[in-house]
Amino acid sequence: MIDRRNALKLALGGAAALAAPAALAQAAKPRTRVVFLGTKGGPRVGIGASNPANLVVVNDTPFVIDCGMGVSRQLVNAGVPIPSIEYILITHHHSDHNLEYGNLFYNAWAAGLSTPIHSFGPKGIEAMTKAFWELNKFDVETRIEDEGRPDPRKLLIAKDIDDGVVLKTSEVTVTALRTPHPPIVDNFAYKLETPDGTIVFSSDTAYNPKLAEFAKDADVLVHECMYLPAVDRLVAKTKNGATLKKHLLESHTTTEDVGRVAAAAGVKVLVMSHFVPGDDPLVTDENWTEDVKKNFSGRIVVAKDLMELKLPV
């Protein structure tokens, strides 16, 4: 027979057991995380990986880095409410990085956004924002009048940037570094310093030793990469690209050179993303990492769409 005292112990023990998973789940929730929304380099849309986009969430504040086609859908797939976005960072004005910039904001507005989103990018982001509203003037003004929505044109606050600190919140400092991506000159890597570590995104870039200085001792370096043996296959199946190979070789970083940058920077984790090519079934994860390992002996992650990396690493 169970006396009253033992019954109370059992009841308290049962309550603790029920409470434990919830407490553990709360403790396990990362304060800072990176989600790789789209990992395929280039503007072509196909089956498989989505076009370039990344997400950093710090204490439930989302920062979107690049807006390739599909970014809105990928945010939904990642379980991130689009109206919760507060900041958008565009690295450069190639279409696979900005094509859904305006539409991402519009989709947030359509889903109930009523608070500002601040966007940052190379010279032209302010003009692009203005042009987006001209393009969609009829729809926007119709919905404001017909559906009682707030005017979205007041909520997207764009700013052209240059090198240096571009954004500083109570928890996050964002710094930009110009990096070469011929023929584009206004092209920026971003460094996000968070309470749980530093994350650097290379942008599209030719091999650039200065990136190693920029990413020195970073916790995470997300770097674009090109697998040379597959470049000819990519060029062969891409129509209307007579000088595409020349562009790729001059404007992107080979896997071996990615390893050089990561090693010189001394990063804790190297994440390979923005794969060139990003949809060649003959290229394996081992192919992506084999030449990196010639120079970098640290932790390597081959990013996949919707993969999440929690900080601290």
On the question of pLDDT at 8 being above 90, the answer is: no
Q: In this predicted structure, what is the pLDDT of residue 239?
A: 77
* % of the chain exceeding 90 in pLDDT: 87
HEC secondary structure over the chain: CCCHHHHHHHHHHHHHHHHHHHHHHHHHCCCEEEEEEECECCCCCCCCCCCCEEEEEECCEEEEECCCCCHHHHHHHCCCCHHHCCEEECCCCCHHHHCCHHHHHHHHHHCCCCCCEEEEECCCHHHHHHHHHHHCHHHHHHHHHHHCCCCHHHCEEEEECCCEEEEECCCCEEEEEECCECCECCCEEEEEEECCEEEEECCCCCCCHHHHHHCCCCCEEEEEEECHHHHHHHHHCCCCCCCHHHHHHHHCCEHHHHHHHHHHHCCCEEEEEEEECCCCCCCCHHHHHHCHHHCCCCEEEECCCCEEEEECC
Q: In this predicted structure, what is the pLDDT of residue 21?
A: 44
On the question of pLDDT at 29 being above 80, the answer is: no
**pLDDT per residue over 53-101, tens digit each?**
999 999 999 999 999 999 999 999 999 999 999 999 999 999 999 999 9
On the question of pLDDT at 14 being above 60, the answer is: no
Mean pLDDT of 120-136: 98
- More confident position, 301 or 12: 301
* % of the chain exceeding 70 in pLDDT: 91
Whole-number mean pLDDT of the chain?
92
**pLDDT per residue over 243-253, tens digit each?**
999 999 999 99
Q: In this predicted structure, what is the pLDDT of residue 1?
A: 40
Which band of pLDDT confidence, cut at 50, 70 and 90, is reported for residue 15? Answer: very low
On the question of pLDDT at 205 being above 50, the answer is: yes
Q: In this predicted structure, what is the pLDDT of residue 10?
A: 38
On the question of pLDDT at 156 being above 70, the answer is: yes
Mean pLDDT of 18-36: 65
